[in-house]
Chains A and B, each alone.
Chain A
Amino acid sequence: MRHLVFIHRGASGPEEIGIALDGARCEVTVGGRNEAAEAVRLPDGRLSLVFEGGRQICGRVRPGRNGEVEVSTGSGVRRLALAEPLRDRIAHAADGAAAGGGEEQVRALMPGRVVEVAVLPGDRVEAGALLLVLEAMKMQNEIRATRPGRVLRVEVEAGKPVEGGAPLVVLASES
């Protein structure tokens, strides 16, 4: 059983999508609603989902331009902004920077375990500086500063698990 979390940026703003994969069985959680389906890849590469009530949908899913996901079905081709949280964060780092005031909370966008903390409160960091390393989905993800600043607080400890959404480091921006 694998659990994944994606960020979907639709018309109503970013939302979290949870997926559980267990062989052909999958469960998708969107906005508190949960749908279970059997997922099968067709010989021509398309994906078919049969839901528990018997409803079937089918389409081709491919990586699109600019990190989007392209879905083509009988009614046409659409590109969705759907990405794994860290990649979503990288893609939309500029949004946060523009919206943020003096303080920026760096959050864990999926549950994981802190492997290493690379900064101490008071440190000055440049954009791109390593803040900490988070292990999630058996991958070690380097969490880096998206802009220059000063470390105000470190909220986690190496070796400790963190929840999805938990604050990791708080930065004060320096412009």
Chain B
Amino acid sequence: MTPSPSRKRLLVANRGEIALRIFRACRDLGLETVAVYSDADRASPHVAAADHAVRLGPAPARESYLSVPALLAAARKTGASLVHPGYGFLAENAGFARACAEAGLAFVGPTPDAIAAMGSKTGSRRLMQAAGVPVVPGTSGPARDAAELARFGREAGYPILLKASAGGGGKGMRRVDSERELPAALARVASEASASFGDGAVYAEKLIERPRHVEVQVVGDARGDVVAVGERECSIQRRHQKVVEECPSPVVDAPLRSRLLETAMAAARAVSYTSCGTVEFLLGPDRSFYFLEMNTRLQVEHPVTEEVWGVDLAAAMIRIALGEPLPFSSESLSPRGHAIECRIYAEDPLRGFAPSPGVVTALRLPQGPGVRHDVGIEAGSVVPIDYDPMLGKLVVHAADRAAAIARLARALADYEVAGVETTLPLFRALAVDSEFRAAAFDVQWLDRRLEGGWLARDPETADDLLLAAVGLAEAEAVARSPDPADATRSLWGSAARREALRGGY
């Protein structure tokens, strides 16, 4: 029998911190919550936080969080009328959004058409050009000859990038710094392209050197209103993955901000955007900016915008999906201070960011003014190998960027995750890095820093030795004590006993 709930129920087709984040918005709005889980997640915090919970299937995402039939069945079983996809998994899958609509469920996100339109790289580029949104200048298709490329080079300005039309993944690309280099470079790329891809077609793009990643948060509603809620700076990336995000961007001034926000709203209007979304731009050193892509979902880094602009984006998305108008307007919004987010992953930054799954044996979160946690684990949680290893996000907010960095350092000194390796050492190093503090970075800055051996294991201190010696002394004393009651007092617990027994002398 399908229950008919007195209050509306929202199913989150996701796990971890984002499921918890959306449940909090539901509670604020008086909605009941439905969690879904795989076999790896029965004991995860998002399940225990929900009013209803439905098993989807085995641990692999394909058989659980990516299974549209299982998700729709879970919604039916619990009488959910709204479905929020979170980020990742099915968040930008037009087919899932359509399946929800066909099942009579309100999808908390944009329309399937908007998702599909922005999901295509070439289609969205054409759409944006038509809407007057700047895209990275390029030849409109494969160049016929060297003369056409030379014309493009003169128009766009060097350096330019020659790319094999059939290429990808960084293969079949060559930087050209002047017209003189062009003929040789073209011959090289064309022959490489023929050899590697069986297609010698080559096109050209303007090369944006040392760009920053700046993105604009947009929110639209079903009436056609669109608001831009400031920009975020996301240039601190490791291998194209964002690691730290800030709001506002330290290099965007008021005139540039108003141009960015206007452009982002034009992009959103071009696809009749009716939810939270993000328009990403590459920002060149000359302050020119170019459309990169639009993310048609709530983003991982949405909290920095929420802190600075005083909005609840997760709740706004849900209200819009319930048919309400935008809960704020451009005129009602004003920014306050500076926010920084760190994505804390179960990865070992000192071993090439190798995943570090396991049991979180201890978790201590910093507290105090300007510190927010969106965390998906608890002490005792198992970090499964099946999903993205992000444990949660630390967000700090203060009056200005310098104060926010000081607050970040303060929070990081109190942040403890034991049992698994985390990316916390990376953030501790960032917080005291002079170039980071001066905001003198671009999207490749962190990769260059890491290559240079910037993250080294800290040398041990005299205090470490004092703590270790006293801790070890207590453990040894207890391990040798004939009184079993001592074992419970041991700092190392049963681990010390096992170790002592294994010692074998």
Q: Interface size for chain B: under 10, 10 to 19, 20 to 34, or 35 or more residues? A: 35 or more
Chain B residues in 8 Å Cβ range of A69: 468, 471-472
Q: How far is the CA of A59 from the CA of B418 in the complex (A)?
A: 12
Query: Inside 8 A of B466's CB, which chain A residues have their CB?
Result: 28, 30, 35, 37, 49, 57
Alpha-carbon separation in the docked complex, A59 to B480 (Å): 24
- A2-B477, A44-B364, A87-B505 given; A10·B465 CB < 8 A: yes
CA distance A138 to B505 in the complex (A): 13
B457 CB to closest chain A CB (Å) equals 7
| Chain A residues positioned under 8 Å from B59 (CB to CB) | none
Is there an interface contact between A26 and B418, defined as CB atoms closer than 8 Å? no
**B458-505 at interface with A (beta carbon < 8 Å):** 458-477, 480, 489, 491-492, 495-496, 499, 503, 505
Contacts of A6 on B, CB cut-off 8 Å?
A: 469, 472-473
A113–B458 Cα distance when bound, in Å, is 40
Using A4-B473, A26-B473, A138-B480 as known contacts, say yes or no to A80 and B416 having CB atoms under 8 A apart.
no
State the CA gap A142–B236 with chains docked (Å).
56
The smallest beta-carbon distance between B130 and chain A, in angstroms, is 52
A58 to B464, CA, bound (A): 9
Q: Is A72 an interface residue (CB 8 A)?
A: yes
Q: Which secondary structure characterizes the binding site on chain A?
A: strand
Give A89 Cβ to nearest chain B Cβ, in Å.
9
Taking CB as reference atom, which chain B residue is nearest A70? B468
Kindly state the separation between the CA atoms of A47 and B392 in the bound complex, as whole angstroms: 26
B463 touches A45 (CB 8 A): no
Instruction: Check: B413 CB closer than 8 A to any chain A CB.
Output: yes
Whether A124 sits at the interface, judged by CB under 8 Å, is no
Tell whether A78 is near chain B: CB-to-CB under 8 Å: yes
Q: Which residues of B contact A30 (CB under 8 A)?
A: 462, 465-466, 469
- The answer to whether A10 and B460 touch across the interface, beta carbons within 8 angstroms, is yes
Is A107 on the interface with B (CB-CB < 8 A)? no
Task: From known contacts A11-B459, A21-B474, infer whether A74 and B414 are also in contact, taking CB-CB under 8 Å.
Answer: yes
- List, in ascending order, chain A residues with CB within 8 A of B469's CB: 6, 8, 17, 19, 28, 30, 82
Given contacts A76-B458, A78-B458, are A45 and B362 in contact (CB under 8 A)?
yes
Q: How far is the CA of A92 from the CA of B505 in the complex (A)?
A: 15
Q: Given the complex of chains A and B, what is the CA–CA distance between A25 and B497 in angstroms?
A: 23
Write out, one digit per residue, whether chain A residues 57-101 have a CB within 8 A of any chain B CB (1) or not (0).
111111100010101111111101011101100100000000000
Q: Classify the secondary structure of B's interface with A.
A: helix
Knowing A2-B477, A76-B428, A80-B460 are in contact, say whether A60-B362 is a contact too (CB < 8 A): yes
B27 to chain A, nearest CB (A): 28
Q: Indicate whether B167 reaches chain A with its CB closer than 8 angstroms.
A: no
Query: In this assembly, does A141 line the interface, its C-beta being within 8 Å of a C-beta of chain B?
Result: yes
B355 is an interface residue with CB less than 8 A from chain A:
no
Contact at B470–A39, with CB atoms within 8 Å?
A: yes
For the complex, is B137 an interface residue (Cβ under 8 Å from A)?
no
Whether A78 lies near B428 (C-beta < 8 A) is no
Residue of B nearest to A60 (CB): B418
Given contacts A37-B466, A90-B505, contact A62 B492 (CB under 8 A): yes
Q: Does B425 contact A (CB under 8 A)?
A: yes
Distance in angstroms from B272 CB to nearest chain A CB is: 49
* Interface 0/1 of A129-148, CB less than 8 Å to B: 00000000111011000000
Q: Determine if A74 and B413 form an interchain contact, defined as CB atoms under 8 angstroms apart.
A: yes
Partner of A71, one of B362, B413, B467: B467
Residues of chain A contacted by B499 (CB below 8 angstroms): 63, 67
Shortest Cβ distance from A84 into chain B, in angstroms?
6
- In contact, B471 and A61 (Cβ under 8 angstroms): yes
Q: Which of A11, A26, A137 contacts B470 (CB 8 A)?
A: A26
Give the Cβ gap from B41 to chain A, nearest Cβ, in Å.
26
Looking at the assembled complex, report how far the CB atom of B10 sits from the nearest CB atom of chain A, in whole angstroms: 35
**Distance of A57 Cα from B470 Cα, bound (Å):** 12
**Minimum C-beta distance from A54 to chain B (A):** 15
Q: Are A72 and B465 in contact (CB under 8 A)?
A: no
Give 18 pairs: A residue, B residue, CB < 8 Å, sorted on A. Answer: A6-B472, A10-B460, A17-B469, A26-B473, A49-B467, A62-B491, A62-B495, A67-B499, A72-B416, A72-B418, A74-B412, A75-B413, A78-B464, A82-B469, A82-B472, A84-B472, A87-B503, A90-B503
Residues of A that sit less than 8 Å from B by CB: 2, 4, 6, 8, 10-11, 17, 19, 21, 26, 28, 30, 35, 37, 39, 41, 44-45, 47, 49, 57-63, 67, 69, 71-78, 80, 82-84, 86-87, 90, 137-139, 141-142
A-B pairs with the 6 shortest C-beta distances? A61-B471, A74-B413, A19-B473, A69-B468, A71-B464, A78-B460
Please name 6 further chain A to chain B contacts, defined as beta carbons within 8 Å, in addition to the given A71-B467, A76-B425, A142-B505, sorted by A numbering. Answer: A60-B418, A61-B491, A69-B468, A72-B418, A78-B458, A84-B476
